[in-house]
Amino acid sequence: MLHNSHLYHEAKHGFAKRGIDVGEVKLNLDQLLADKDKAVSGLTRGIEMLFKKNKVEWLKGLGTLKSANDIEVSLNAGGKESIKAKNIIIATGSEPSPFPGFEIDEKQIITSTGALALEKVPEKMIVIGGGVIGLELGSVWSRLGAEVTVVEFLPAIGAGMDAELAKAFQRSLSKQGIKFKTSTKVVDSEKKDGKVLVNVEGVKNGKKEALEADVVLLSVGRRPYTEGLGLENVGIKPDSRGRVEMADNQFRTSVPNIRVIGDATVGPMLAHKAEEEGIAAVEYITNGHGHVNYNVIPSVIYTHPEVAWVGKNEQQLKEEGVKYKIGSFPFAANSRAKTIDDAEGLVKIITDAETDRILGAHIIGPNAGEMIAEACLAMEYGGSAEDVARTCHAHPTMSEAFKEACMAAYSKPIHF
């Protein structure tokens, strides 16, 4: 939906200046949602094929721990089945966190689940929470025609993002028509005359205000999904946030043969982080060795422009007392970005002031989610900015902006 809504917005607002006349552009929301469903089912069937290929039996149902080695499965098709296991990995993922004062119906007061299935474009949408999910889905419905307002408790959007990029990101989304109310506390809500009224107040000044919308999207984070898992049956106690804690760095819980990975435990709730942990957990079970470098777990926001980062940001390094250098390069000086008229944003590289080792990389701009992989590879092998800068990059490509930012970090760029 992010991709297709961007294409729709481009066709409606960007094609004419490129010399492409397409006449009146109309939204077929039913087809857009059908295309989304097709993509989801295709990926799901792909996983099922991988199960068969690797001789993995898939029991479809709700699994409940009965003991450290026994699991009872309430099958979707009806009935129950009991299985025994020498080793168990909890990988149950997460679900949207509820919010006090809001009753979710997935029609007017929705989570990310409902936001992927709205039957019509709302006239007004309020997004509660300026994190990744809220900004992505808010961006989708904004492109499709909704008037979107994001309400965020913190003074800036994109929690965890480098402050410089967060400001640039908010400016970019504001230019696209999304409104922001930062440093704003959400109090409660009520439904009235087919609308949802959201009562808010300023964090600093306490100023009260009532916002009206057709749809309210709750995107205040996610919580581990452990309902019905039977943790109490084996003596595993979740922490205050519902996460299953690891007892060691091999993903073991307090019960040695039961391990936990992904959203169900601590750390960023990212699919690629869970994948790395899943591989490592199995490696520990089979040969006693596994590897996950938590300093090199990238984050991506798939809006337009995209935002991606990995490693430390400036605020973190200041708090840690680490001396650092910065190299940045704007896409406005990148030939590929300029020629396709998609030159908003920059690449920012942060290095150790003494060793030139890359400590963090932060990108806002076209293809940021793809470009961040180069930073991850360099950081995984302890690479320096000069290492990347002295590596030939194809011309003309967006990746040259990454090279030039690295050049700026240890010396100077040649195109800016």
Phi-psi region of 399 (alpha: psi -120 to 50; beta: other; left: phi over 0): alpha
- Helix (H), strand (E) at residue 317: helix 314-320
Q: Is 395 a catalytic residue?
A: yes
Phi-psi region of 283 (alpha: psi -120 to 50; beta: other; left: phi over 0): alpha
- Helix (H), strand (E) at residue 135: helix 132-143
In terms of Cα–Cα distance, which of 285, 126, 288, 345 is closest to 215? 126
Please check whether residue 243 is in contact with residue 72, taking contact to mean a CB–CB distance below 8 angstroms. no
- Catalytic pick among 3, 13, 272, 395: 395
Place of tokens 């009520």: 190
> Helices 2-13 and 132-143: crossing angle, nearest 10°?
40
CA distance 109 to 101: 11
In terms of Cα–Cα distance, which of 51, 9, 4 is closest to 31? 4
| Residues belonging to the active site | 395
